Amino acid sequence: MTELAFTVNYAISARSLCRHCRKYIDKKALRIGQSVPNYYDEDNRGWDDLTYWYHATCMFKKFDEDKPRDKKIKCPDDVFGMGYLKKDDRKTILKLISDANVKADNSFRQFRCLCAKLSDEDTSAGKTAIVSDFLKTGNGGTGFKGDVCLLMKFLLPDVVNIVYNLTDKDLVKLFSQIFGTNLKAMEEDLEQGDVSETVRVCFDKSKTVTPLKKSVLTLQEADDLLTSLSCVAKEGEQYKLLTKLVARCTSNDLMMVVRLITHDLGINAKAKYILGGLHPDAYKAFQVSQNLKDVVERVQSNTLHCMPGLKEEKTDKKTGHHHNKSDDPKQGTSGSSDSMNADVCKKTLVKRTGEDEGQTASTKKCKTEPSVSFPPSKIFTGCKIFLPVATDKFKELKQYIIDCDGEILDETSKGTATHIVSSKGKIRTGVSKAKVVTPDWLWQSIKRKQLASAKEFKP
Ligand SMILES: [Zn+2]
């Protein structure tokens, strides 16, 4: 008998029953066994454990349904027999493990657990260590496999500062309607001080909606709903979105969602110490660029040291000699998976095009010249610009915006724009808070090498 709780092999007969789908496992089919205490051994005579068999995919479906504390396969070392499998089957198991880890790392629950740990830690250095450790391990122990950009965005709600048009009183009012709870009672509870706690308690007591028992919310889903929430101002629309959120939440999830809305996670950690867990220079870099996405991307691609402001400062300190201090490949980047890079951080970084891999640290020089020589600066940092394709010189403008660190939005994400370019005069923007500007605003900003006032360029 093996010490491990899980064994993978091929069914020797067609007589084993899958404990998840309740079908017999075909002879020679890939199966995973989980050993469980032998409940026949009532007198503790030391009988061997029982093995429950599962189709490989069914095993992981069961993990999804299990409690967070239950034993799971998180890395290949957790399963006995991997070495005896055919190559393709080994790949199948590895893929199942990796998918499960990505899923766990992107779960809202895991984010909540991280916040709880940060909240319990008193020292700033300790908080940095917790974030760093979280990124280095992740669910599977080999690094955070989730979306680092999103995680950082959620950990720094006061810095990212998404505006929700919702005061504590608005929240209590809306949730009292959703929960079917007496508004006065909720307002009285709010006087205790913490709106997130009021919402949690009343959610648990609600007679109209029942909190989920097990957390299923993902960071992406929470982000989508919160982004939508930030784009609406009418009570009816806020009610609809919050109702949608409530239906996906445990009471603890909802409490944390409310904390995100009110920009206070209760973890008492400044951006400096959170970002410090991502990379020792991440906070400095963030101060320079004010662009979280960019900083995370640079950490993941090991190009943080190429950031102009950051590099100069270092060169000065180190008597003109540029040391590649931030080149620690394991620091914070261990969680970077290609898919994440592609999915979340789609923005092209011109600064990175000058990267030359093979060079040694001491000779490595960062070509910080963008692909177009003019304009060179980060004029549009933080700007999410909706630029209609019909705009005159669209391609040229688009390139400038990207080169100057701006983000181009398409029709699908227009609602999150900070600026909407209109060459046709005044337009309706609906609930969006975007500033409507003429194409001249872009040209003037580029020419002046700084963001022109949107007021000057109203259509
Ligand atoms: Zn099955």
Please report, for residues 157, 160, 245, 301, the alpha-carbon distance to residue 190 in angstroms, rounded to integers and kept in the order given.
Answer: 22, 26, 21, 45
More confident residue, 210 or 401: 210
Which of 325-353 are b and which e, b meaning 16 or more Cβ less than 10 Å from the residue's Cβ? Answer: ebeeeebbbbbbbeebbeebbeeebbbee
Residue in 305, 410, 404, 408 with CA at minimum distance from that of residue 362: 305
Q: Regarding predicted confidence, which is higher, 31 or 360? A: 31
Contact 283, 271 (CB under 8 A): yes
Q: What is the mean pLDDT of residues 329-341?
A: 38
List, for residues 292-303, the tens digit of each pLDDT value.
999 999 999 988
Strand arrangement of the beta sheet that strand 407-409 belongs to = 407-409, 384-386, 419-421, 435-437
pLDDT digits over 258-275, tens only? 999 999 999 999 999 999
* Greater pLDDT, 151 or 378: 151
Q: What integer is the mean pLDDT of 10-21?
A: 96
Q: What is the pLDDT of residues 393-426, one digit of tens each?
A: 888 888 888 888 888 887 777 778 899 998 877 7
Asked if pLDDT for residue 141 goes beyond 80, the answer is: yes
Return d(Cα 406, Cα 316) in angstroms, integer.
Answer: 29
Question: CA-CA-CA-CA torsion for 310, 313, 319, 321, nearest 10 degrees?
Answer: 10
Residue 18 alpha carbon to ligand 1 centre in Å: 5
Distance from Cα 23 to the centre of ligand 1, integer Å: 6
Q: How far is the CA of 32 from the centre of ligand 1 (A)?
A: 10
Residue 430's pLDDT band (cuts 50, 70, 90): low
Which tens digits make up the pLDDT trace of 17-66? 999 999 999 999 999 999 988 877 777 777 778 899 999 999 999 999 99
Q: Domains of the chain, with CATH numbers?
A: 6-104 (3.30.1740.10), 168-261 (1.10.3260.10), 384-457 (3.40.50.10190)
CA of 318 to the centre of ligand 1 (A): 61
CA of 35 to the centre of ligand 1 (A): 16
Find the 127 Cα to ligand 1 centroid distance in Å: 42
Q: Distance, CA 393 to ligand 1 centroid (Å)?
A: 58
Pairwise pLDDT comparison (11 vs 399), residue with the higher score: 11
pLDDT score for 349: 34
pLDDT at 269: 92
Q: Are 335 and 105 in contact (CB under 8 A)?
A: yes
Cα 50 to middle of ligand 1, angstroms: 18
Opening angle at CA 302, ends 301 and 303, nearest 5: 95
Instruction: List, in order, residues 6 or more apart from 182 with CB less than 8 Å away.
Output: 176
- Does 363 score more than 50 pLDDT? no
Q: How far is the CA of 367 from the centre of ligand 1 (A)?
A: 55
- Contact (Cβ atoms closer than 8 angstroms) between residue 400 and residue 446: yes
CA 8 to ligand 1 center in whole angstroms: 14
pLDDT value, residue 3: 64
- Tell me how far the alpha carbon of residue 414 lies from the centroid of ligand 1, in angstroms: 44
